[in-house]
Amino acid sequence: MILNFLIASVFFLNCSSNDDPKETQTEETPEEVVSYDIVVDAKGTGDFTTVQAALDAVAFSKKIETKIFIKDGVYKEKLEVPLNKNNISLIGESKEKVILTYDDYASKKNSGGLEIGTSGSASFIVTGNSFKAQNITFENSSGPVGQAVAVRVDGDKIVFDNCKFLGFQDTLYPRSTTSRQYYKNCYIEGTTDFIFGASTAVFDQCEIFAKTGGAYLTAASTDEKNPYGLVFLNCKLTTNSGNSSYYLGRPWRNYAKTVFVKCEMAAHIKPEGWHNWSKPEAETTTFYAEYLSTGSGANAASRVSWSHQLTLEQVTNQYTLSAIFKDWKPAL
């Protein structure tokens, strides 16, 4: 009797298991927890209320990354990541609401009565190496007063990801000849020469916005020995200026190198494309080139004779990140 009862019970349980709906037990995946070494909040809830205080707190010559989280707010500070303060990452809470701004300009006088100059006008200066910024707006708020730099970069292995750069003349200054910089999904606006300098800098899928009142997007000063200067990959050249009002670039130094690869160009780009800065000798030393430009500002047949249209082979072999940056692979 007991044996028959056990067999019947097992049979009943099996039938119930097959007939009833099954509950699937799923293991909940915990949300990714991002930890930061330092938190900046202008309202006082973080470790510091100013960005410079957070930068000052980082030890010199650190070999591991220091992550600094910046909460939404407007931080009016003249900032610098000093030499030998390496491996610092600034992460903003949101690109539109984390604004690092200052209002110096080149002709402004210092305490000694001398002009601070273009380099001295920078709102944000990066001299340390292996620096990264993400989700931040960098601004020079002095207005249309001549040269006024929002960001100046001297360090090597620098990454800006999903950032904005706001200004008028000389907004972004990739300055050092030994500096390699990577800008991904960024927005850069200005008027005259608003991306200029001697560094090797790649702008990948960025928007380059030319404001009314200017005439030149770029002014490279590439060293003669450097094979690359300013390189724009899959960028959009936009504007609120008139048709045929802007050149792609002019040579601040005679060996300037600037290349646009698969960029969409609005009608503000002049048909001739490039200007020699009234230096005829620069026409034989500069390297200005394009590949598959599109849009109403793309006029390959009308470009100046001393510029170049690249071939597929050149782009494939020479304009990849590994070819440009050599032993450095930018990490977002």
Contact indicator for 208, 229 with CB cutoff of 8 Å? no
**Amino acid of residue 77:** E
Alpha helices in the chain (DSSP H): 2-19, 51-56, 117-120, 312-318, 321-325
CB atoms within 10 A of CB 280: 9
Cβ neighbors of 288 (< 8 A, separation 6 or more) are 248, 249, 256, 257, 258, 259, 273, 274, 304, 306, 307, 308
Going by the DSSP 8-state scheme, the letter that residue 147 receives in this structure is B
List 154, 156, 161, 170, catalytic entry: 170
Q: Is 193 tagged catalytic?
A: yes
Cα gap 315→309, rounded to integer Å: 10
104 is a catalytic site residue: no
What six digits make up the tokens of 146?
């001549």
- Name the catalytic one among 37, 193, 204, 327: 193
Residue 134 contacts residue 176 (beta carbons within 8 Å): no
- The two three-digit tokens of residue 105, written as one number: 């300009």
- Phi and psi (nearest 5°) for 67? -95, 120
Residue-wise burial string across 63-79, b where 16 or more C-beta atoms lie within 10 A, e elsewhere:
eeebbbbbbebebebbb
Instruction: Tell me the C-alpha distance between 140 and 237, whole Å.
Output: 21
Length of the chain: 332
CB proximity list for 8: less than 8 A, separation 6 or greater: none
Rounded Cα gap, residues 244 and 251, in angstroms: 19
Burial 173-209 (b: 16+ CB within 10 A, else e): bbbbbebbbbbbbbbbbbbbbbbbbbbbbbbbebbbb
Active site residues: 170, 193
